[in-house]
Amino acid sequence: MTDPLHMLKSVFGFDSFRAKQEAVIQHVINGGDALVLMPTGGGKSLCYQIPAIIRPGVGVVISPLISLMQDQVDALLQLGVRAAYLNSAVSWSEANFIENQFLYGELDLLYVAPERLLTERFLALMRKASLSLFAIDETHCVSQWGHDFRPEYIQLSILHEQFPDIPRIALTATADQPTRREIIEKLGLRYAQIFSTGFDRPNICYRMELKKNSKNQLLGFLENEHPNDAGIVYCMTRKKVEETAKWLSENGRLALPYHAGLDSDIRQQNQKRFLQEEGVIVVATIAFGMGIDKSNVRFVAHLGLPKSLEAYYQETGRAGRDGLGANAWMLYGYQDVVILRQMITNSDANEQRKFVEQRKLNAMLGFCETTACRRQVLLGYFGETLKNACGHCDTCLNPVESWDGTVAAQKALSCVYRTDQRFGVHYLIDVLLGKKTERIQNFHHDQISTFGIGVDLSKEQWFSVYRQLIAMGFLTVDIDGYGSLQLTHACRAVLRGDQSLKFRKDPILVNKKTKRQTKVVSTHWKNFADQALWEDLRQCRLDLAHEQNVPPYIIFHDSTLEEIIRCKPGTLKELGKISGVGEAKLRRYGMAFLEILEEHLIYQLDDS
């Protein structure tokens, strides 16, 4: 089988290629190197899987995580593709068997971790084997300035040096312009053709709220919009992970914690349950990372600020990989900024690295505080232009009001200056509001010119002013442990009156549950019969998955089940036309799903 389109349909079950998939595949089949930039869920895997099957030899895929390898291999085996992986979870006897399969060309794809690939034993093994290509997945890990640096990735230039005639394809969903340049330089991809399909994930709704009561806000979000859905909740600390998972469990949700401080067996068990069960919520730190390939994650919630837009994009990208609607929902507040600033400044990184991380955090803050379309701002960060507002993020659905904050900014900045840039935001607001606390009187700050000049605004409004001044770069947070605010050079124009400022007007948050505004749950069937069919098809998928110890989405994605319900095929031939149903899956599962469809048809006829 040498025709990519025929293979796409017969093996993978899709009628046509997406975006630039076909061009990438043909380029690699012809022996060319490629750098592929596609959003999560955009079909990157097919770009190396199809060429690896068509070209003579075995395709070697470098992947950073065990769970990601296992997921990919399980999915390929379901399709009838000869695939295996080598990592620390494989026993010696299994590894020996797989290595022999590799040497004798009995595999189409072999997944390995970069640490194993770089050993002299495996390099010697590759010199003896027939190789079709090298695929370097999650290639942004090469960047020392990125959010997920893996030092072993830098050494992968050895592939070009020792195997110059084997095509290489590097793939990532997360790379700004500096990261792209670093990938090309460090992997020796100077002559590789770059394929970029853009970073837009139109099925994801980006939404943000200011923190008021994070637990109640989260619970309201889940009850209103995702009462039965699987999702991920990211927290900034291990303690917050444990508290949030317990809170959700006490309120009737199946929520499991995941962080680096947990025993490895517990982490593995919780991740397995998330992948193989329905409706599970994982509450995690960023330790719950790239290995998450679950297609029907309907939401990703952040209860704190990510360190960069790259991290935010990568983490939110785990939602809606099946192309159906999903939410990226985040709570953030002033304290998040203080914590992250201090973490960066107190880290062991060199000054250049700290500067880059501060710049990335500033971009993240700007994204939070924008009054413009969030999708336009996010894509702009990655060098793309979205001509029109998306109409699908919170600032589009509920446009943010702004107000002239020039005078308020001058008062806020002057108060920082008059108190010698030694105090945090709570103290500064007390001075502006004219509160004669014991501490203010001890420092004689009830005698300075800014004492009491801010009574025209509330405490919450002054918090908003200071938060936005930090985001705009007019103030920075000191590392003294108290979160003292300090002026930057940029604030001079504001204090002199040469620059006016517009602030976003923070919405008034209420504790009571609000009516759902945006429905993103994957299914909302118009009649009881289709809803019942949906539940039975999902149960059939779950039963088949449990029999084989694989996640349900590896059997069929939610989008495939939805198309089955819409088309209601009555024969194997008709079922084979459904997107995502290849020949191997049709043979293996076709009759089981047709029986469900037939039972529902009989029930409806009897009922009528």
Residues 6+ apart with CB under 8 A from 531: 523, 525
Look at residue 517 in the predicted model and tell me its pLDDT. 44
What is the pLDDT confidence band of residue 89, given thresholds at 50, 70 and 90? confident
Decide if 271 contacts 67 (C-beta within 8 A).
yes
Length of the chain in residues, anyone? 608
Which domains are assigned to the chain?
4-196 (3.40.50.300), 204-397 (3.40.50.300), 402-504 (1.10.10.10), 528-607 (1.10.150.80)
What is the pLDDT confidence band of residue 512, given thresholds at 50, 70 and 90? very low
Q: How far apart are CA 197 and CA 222, in angstroms?
A: 32
Look at residue 146 in the predicted model and tell me its pLDDT. 63
Which among 317, 314, 261, 256 has a CA at the least distance from the CA of 282? 256
How many degrees, rounded to 5, is the angle at CA 294 between CA 533 and CA 85?
125
Look at residue 422 in the predicted model and tell me its pLDDT. 93
Q: How far apart are CA 262 and CA 100, in angstroms?
A: 37
**pTM of the full predicted structure?**
0.82
Q: How far apart are CA 53 and CA 7, in angstroms?
A: 9
Q: How far apart are CA 221 and CA 228, in angstroms?
A: 12
Q: Looking at this protein, which amino acid is placed at residue 281?
A: I
**SS3 label, residue 3:** coil
Distances (CA, A) of 132 to 29, 110, 151, 400: 9, 11, 26, 53
Look at residue 101 in the predicted model and tell me its pLDDT. 97
CB atoms within 10 A of CB 30: 10
**SS3 label, residue 329:** strand
Distance from chain centroid for Cα 537: 28
Q: Looking at this protein, which amino acid is placed at residue 601?
A: L
Residue 521 has pLDDT above 50, yes or no: no
Q: How far apart are CA 245 and CA 280, in angstroms?
A: 11
Look at residue 555 in the predicted model and tell me its pLDDT. 94
**SS3 label, residue 323:** coil
454 DSSP assignment = T
Q: How far apart are CA 389 and CA 570, in angstroms?
A: 42
Q: How far apart are CA 561 and CA 143, in angstroms?
A: 39
Least confident of 10-14, 120-124, 138-142: 138-142
Q: Looking at this protein, which amino acid is placed at residue 395?
A: T
CB atoms within 10 A of CB 498: 8
Give helix then strand counts, H and E, for the chain.
28, 17
Which among 411, 375, 406 has a CA at the least distance from the CA of 503? 406
Per-residue pLDDT tens digits for 189-231 = 999 999 998 889 999 999 999 998 999 999 999 999 999 999 9
How many degrees, rounded to 5, is the angle at CA 280 between CA 278 and CA 282?
150
Which among 420, 422, 417, 506 has a CA at the least distance from the CA of 465? 506
Look at residue 148 in the predicted model and tell me its pLDDT. 74
**SS3 label, residue 426:** helix
Three-state SS for 221-280 is HHHHHCCCCCEEEECCCHHHHHHHHHHHHHCCCCEEEECCCCCHHHHHHHHHHHHHCCCC
Per-residue pLDDT tens digits for 458-484 = 999 999 999 999 888 899 887 555 678
What is the pLDDT confidence band of residue 602, given thresholds at 50, 70 and 90? confident
Q: How far apart are CA 405 and CA 409, in angstroms?
A: 6
The share of the chain scoring above pLDDT 90, in percent, equals: 71
DSSP-assigned letters across all residues of 540-589: HHHHHHHHHTS-HHHH--HHHHHHHHHH---SHHHHTTSTT--HHHHHHH
327 DSSP assignment = E
Tokens of 338: 């203080």
Residue carrying structure tokens 């592939």: 159
Residues 6+ apart with CB under 8 A from 529: 600, 604
Look at residue 335 in the predicted model and tell me its pLDDT. 84
Look at residue 605 in the predicted model and tell me its pLDDT. 56
Least confident of 180-194, 385-399, 477-491: 477-491
Residue carrying structure tokens 């329905």: 278
Least confident of 101-105, 223-227, 513-517, 594-598: 513-517
